[in-house]
Amino acid sequence: MKIPPVKGTRDFYPPQMAVRNWIIDGWKRVSRRNGFEEYDGPIFEYLKMYQVKSGDEIVEQLFNMTDRGGRDLAIRPEITPTLARMVNQQINSLARPIKWFSVPRLCRAERPQKGRLREFFQWNIDIIGVDSVLADAEVIFATVDFLREVGLGPSDVKVKISSRKLLGVFLSGIGVGQEKLDGIYAVLDKKGKLPADTFEELLKEQVPDKDAAGKILDFMRVDSIPEVEKLIEADSNERIAWNEVKNVLAYLEMMGVGEYCVYDPSIVRGLAYYTGIVFEVHDIVGELRAICGGGRYDNLLKDFGGPMVSATGMGMGDCVLEILLREKSLLGDSISTREIEYFVAFADNVFGSHVYRLAGELRRRGFSASFSYKPESGLSKQLKEASAQNAKKCVIIGQEFLEGRKLVIKDMGTSEQEVVGYDDFLVSLERGG
Ligand code: HAM
């Protein structure tokens, strides 16, 4: 009986695993150079964790189960609720600002499509305990820092920045009640993702008044900063929220990534907990789903029973990113699955014991070393095996060894060979190979 992999999951054979590690190593390196510390939590939590404030969309996509003790649990679809729970647990002893990152494996029962799977990896960076939009700018900067490092420039991707606060104030201004906001945000977030008529139907359910719905759509279209300036009154709550957006853009300009960033009022975000600056990164062509998304969530810690502590962060999945990197030929074929520094080959069976001894010596000194399991196969076959294993150098034990304890070192890149004494070779390894 052949059992296929589960829909929406991936098998990571060594070549795919090498790509996954390459991406994750980059995320971790960039997190560290931006001053974030790594954390992780459990892969499942109580189901109610995600029912508190993540929003209906995520709840509908949960993989949940009841354990043997009758507890309702869910596999994590995101790590932000776990982060809020963990920080709340130690809120009095953690030095602020808390700058943490994580790369959790997440599961969402989404309809699998290009860039969206049921199991994926997501880079998270979050700053907790900072009210200033400087923290929002830092999160966006670190995001761009990674994208820039892997070769994605401002002509490949755009960071679209907006504000839930600004939209919230605007909606209240046209008479939308506070209790309706979460429902409207969820619909507005789907604007670019649904066919126009389906979107309009959904919006009508939330905002039956045609005039009000029209005003909302107009608001989401004006993305020119001078135009917005003209529309926003001085000394209003809208002005306060708008100034935050302008400040974030100004900080990002100062940090040298202004070219990547634009104001885009159509960014709303699907999750319910956002309260301020929100952003998403999209490919310029706009064919793919968001590469990443995040924003400020100042009430989440309080919603989980902690004190009122402000927070901001983002999540970037590996799927869309990988598609884009492949499209732009930025992954290359050079990500190797194995790195062998020395392949120890032998010209004749009689040298077998020396091969195993030398391989052992090399590994003891921290070098990666390999040898053939088929000593009878002959030298040329072993050299082929060395190439197939991507070995940098081949150490050949042959006639020279019998005559004067000498080894032939062959550089597999240039094919150059040199003869060195066995002991000199070991000494050279001590000096770093
Ligand atoms: P999110 O928008 O739900 O936000 O997800 C962020 C990113 O995760 C997406 O832009 C996408 O790259 C990736 N992603 C989401 N769902 C899938 C999927 N089914 N398959 C592949 N990739 C996916 C959050 O999760 C927030 N918790 C992020 C955050 C952290 N906000 C503040 N801190």
In order, the DSSP letters of 329-391 are T-S-S---S---SEEEEESSGGGHHHHHHHHHHHHHTT--EEE-S-GGG-HHHHHHHHHHTT-
What's at 304, amino acid-wise?
F
pLDDT confidence band for 350 (50 / 70 / 90): confident
Does ligand 1 lie within 6 Å of residue 108's CB atom? Answer: yes
Domain range list for the chain: 14-41+79-327, 342-430
Average pLDDT over residues 303-332: 95
- Please give the mean pLDDT across all residues of the chain: 94
In CATH, what class is 342-430?
A: alpha beta
pLDDT for 170-227, tens place per residue? 999 999 998 999 899 999 998 888 888 898 899 999 999 999 999 999 999 999 999 9
**pLDDT above 70 coverage of the chain, percent:** 99
Average pLDDT over residues 405-418: 95
Q: Of 83, 93, 102, give the one whose Cα is nearest residue 304.
A: 83
Average pLDDT over residues 87-104: 97
pLDDT-wise least confident of 14-23, 43-52, 371-380: 371-380
pLDDT at 349 over 90: no
pLDDT of residue 5: 95
Q: How far is the CA of 115 from the centre of ligand 1 (A)?
A: 11
Q: How far is the CA of 157 from the centre of ligand 1 (A)?
A: 17
- Mutate-to-test residue for ligand 1 from 98, 102, 120, highest number of ligand atoms within 8 A of CB: 120
Q: How far is the CA of 255 from the centre of ligand 1 (A)?
A: 25
pLDDT at 348 over 90: no
d(CA 4, CA 11): 11
Query: Relative to the CA of 269, which ligand 1 atom is closest?
Result: 2
Joined together, the tokens standing for residue 83 give 């982060």
Average pLDDT over residues 81-110: 97
d(CA 278, CA 153): 21
Helix, strand, coil shares of the chain as percentages rounded to 5? 45, 20, 35
Does ligand 1 lie within 6 Å of residue 277's CB atom? Answer: no
Peptide bond into 5 cis (omega under 30): no
pLDDT confidence band for 320 (50 / 70 / 90): very high
pLDDT of residue 59: 86
Does ligand 1 lie within 6 Å of residue 101's CB atom? Answer: no
133-149 vs 14-33: helix axis angle to the nearest 10? 140
Average pLDDT over residues 97-111: 97
pLDDT for 385-408, tens place per residue? 999 999 999 999 998 898 899 999
Architecture label for domain 14-41+79-327: 2-Layer Sandwich (3.30)
pLDDT of residue 333: 67
d(CA 231, CA 226): 9
Query: Relative to the CA of 116, which ligand 1 atom is closest?
Result: 20
pLDDT confidence band for 431 (50 / 70 / 90): low
